[in-house]
Structure 1
Amino acid sequence: MSELSGYGPTPFDALRRGRRAVDRLMASMVDNGGMWREVAATQVLLSEASPPIYFQEFTSAEEAAAGADWMWWWVDRDGVCFGLLAQAKILKVNGRQWTIDFGYRTKGDPRSQITKLIKAAEPYQVPAAYILYCGDRKYRATLECDRTHGSVLCRDRERVGVSVVCALVAQRDVSFYGKGAGLEAFHDAVPVEDIASPAGVDNPVHSLVRELDEELAQFLVQPQSGARRVAKELLRPLERIRRGQFSRAGTLERAAPVADALFRDVPTDRGHFSVPYLAHVLRGLRTGVPDYVRDVMEGRTPPAWVTDRFGGIVVIPEADTFG
């Protein structure tokens, strides 16, 4: 049911409410000559989206080392869930140059934050991603991108103020486009609320790898919802980029299966990405909810090996509920 039905908000309702609050925060700060910050935007987003979305905030003391802000988990009614480890970033403008600081480095550390983020996701067997805070359409009015999404110019997308993109996409964009990486990643980012939208368009994803497991092949071409849909949307730009890379067809080698993974027969095709992209994303799609995620859902504090590593956990329950 929708929020107006009297049966409580759906994930779409909640995320839309949160995104609108973040847009208002941004507009207010810009109108007063300031700039909003990632921490404040995340707090506004989650506080406005709760309930029905759960969240627990932890210490952010190790963010500089881990390169991560929050773990996000979408949980479906059948128990299938999808998690990602996300760093929050802001789409900024300096004159006519639009940027996202993917190349940030901590003083004294030669590694980029994006490299640390991808590595930080390994112990949790989830993909690395960015939650992008991109402002409202007025803020993006001078953004020059002539590509369209449907019939809408890239900059004019209404709901893109809070979006998600896989870190492998951002890493590739930094390598190819340098300071223009932010604009490229913005174009490939999907609004978080669109994933939960009852009106969302879910076109097939076409893989370069020809010998996919039958269930995985069907997953890519058939419409999905909830946790499965999030995984598919993160894969979409990766598969598009992979098809444009001049390298041999996808390898037939298989990744070591992840415990409770929904798909256990996943190719290790890498293309020009830093890690096998299919395995990186799909390891986050599970048949059961991890104990530390259930802790958040049931009001308990997760163990220290979770709470000491990043800023908090977001849980979107009944993620496959559209109305």
Structure 2
Amino acid sequence: MTGMLDAGGMFREVTATQVLLSTAYPRIRFVEFAADDEKENGADWLWWWVDRDGTCYGLLVQAKILKLHGKRWSVDFNYKTRGDDRTQLSKLIKAANRFHVPAAYVLYCGDAQYRSALTCDRTHDDFPCKERDRAGVSAVSALVAETAVGLDAKNAGVSTFHDAVPVEDIASPDGLDAPIVPLARVLDQDLERFLRQPRRGSRRVAKELLRPVQRIRHGQFAGAAVMERAAPVTGALFENVPNDYGHFSVPYVAHMLCGLRAEVPGYVRDVLEGRTLPAWLTDHVGGIVVIPDADALPTASPGRVGDGGAGLLSLGFPEAPQPPHDQHPGQAA
């Protein structure tokens, strides 16, 4: 991004993603598909954080740029394709349900010099928002963007950037996360411990993406949290979660945690083990990104998942794939 800006140009989502993934390789693994159904799904990639024990967290991700138009900063969350009244944001949240993962954005926000005129006057640990290290590539729940658009569409980009978390921070094994105090007071004990006690790996990623959503819910005048249980997702680490919507379009805890799984989904294993991928996957996303456990050691036998699974990740490009049609998205986990 800095290189393009120094050259008098502007970075773009597709190019920035390719540079990001190729530069981070082999620390991360990725596979890119030829199909692009972004017009229908509003989505680019499936991202998965995978721990050595197989616990993992997935996101359906759309890449967006924090743009400066004159003196106004924006992120085009309400983008619509010609002839379609639906916003890309609404399609992204709907498409995430297909894969049983939360919807999210990866924001490309340039460097500190690019953001120097950013109007956000809020801070992070007493540090100016726009000067945060590593914030050039940040992740945020689509529910945060949805709320920002609903409250103040004109300034939704800056507001969402403030709540976005640098990808490097949530992918790093260093440090501990602060507890999340849930609005619902009667939770499953395992879920309560997860929210209140420090976590690492994919569990920490899930908490860091949930944190601003929970903070927004605390500020909503939506009454007490609903104690009914959301419909469980097969394979989810937490199946007993509250069905509270607040002012979000979906049950926010269930949505944010449905992607936290006890084991690697079947289609990720298909990629890891060199099997043909199902058409319902390759026809609907641009690719898969896998961020393995940083503590996992490399292996001499890539492509197999076993003890220390995150260190055994190896993604390759399938040759002339002919995906079978016998696997339904609901069977992915």
Q: 1:298 Cα shift?
A: 3.3
Residue 52 of structure 2 is matched in structure 1 by 77
Greater mean deviation of Cα atoms: 235-244 or 298-307: 298-307
Residue 29 of structure 1 is matched in structure 2 by 4
- Equivalent pairs, count: 297
Distance 1:43 1:246 in 2: 41
Q: 1:251 Cα shift?
A: 0.7
Q: 1:152 aligns with which of 127, 130, 133?
A: 127
Q: Does 1:269 align with 2:244?
A: yes
Return the TM-score normalized by structure 1.
0.89
Greater mean deviation of Cα atoms: 89-98 or 104-113: 89-98
1:121 aligned counterpart, secondary structure:
helix
Q: 2:136 aligns with which of 161, 166, 185?
A: 161
Q: 2:148 aligns with which of 153, 162, 173?
A: 173
Distance 2:35 2:73 in 1: 27
Matched-pair contact (CA < 8 Å) for 2:228–2:243 = yes
Residue 67 of structure 1 is matched in structure 2 by 42
Instruction: Give RMSD over aligned pairs.
Output: 1.4
Q: 1:295 Cα shift?
A: 2.4
- Matched ranges for 1:9-24 at <5 A: none
Q: 1:300 Cα shift?
A: 4.2
Q: 1:313 aligns with which of 285, 288, 293?
A: 288
Structure 2 letter corresponding to 1:39: V
Structure 2 letter corresponding to 1:316: I
Q: 1:294 aligns with which of 269, 277, 300?
A: 269
Q: 1:299 Cα shift?
A: 4.1
Matched-pair contact (CA < 8 Å) for 2:45–2:285 = yes
Matched-pair contact (CA < 8 Å) for 2:120–2:159 = no
Matched-pair contact (CA < 8 Å) for 2:51–2:202 = yes
Residue 84 of structure 2 is matched in structure 1 by 109
Q: 1:301 Cα shift?
A: 4.5
Structure 2 letter corresponding to 1:180: N
Distance 1:190 1:201 in 2: 15
Distance 2:69 2:121 in 1: 19
Residue 254 of structure 2 is matched in structure 1 by 279
Matched-pair contact (CA < 8 Å) for 2:38–2:44 = yes
Matched-pair contact (CA < 8 Å) for 1:250–1:271 = yes
Residue deviations 1:152-180, cap 9 Å, x none? 10000011111100001101100101120
Distance 1:101 1:320 in 2: 37
Residue deviations 1:33-53, cap 9 Å, x none? 221110001101111111131
Distance 1:321 1:185 in 2: 33
Return the TM-score normalized by structure 2.
0.86
Q: Does 1:95 align with 2:70?
A: yes
Greater mean deviation of Cα atoms: 59-68 or 278-287: 59-68
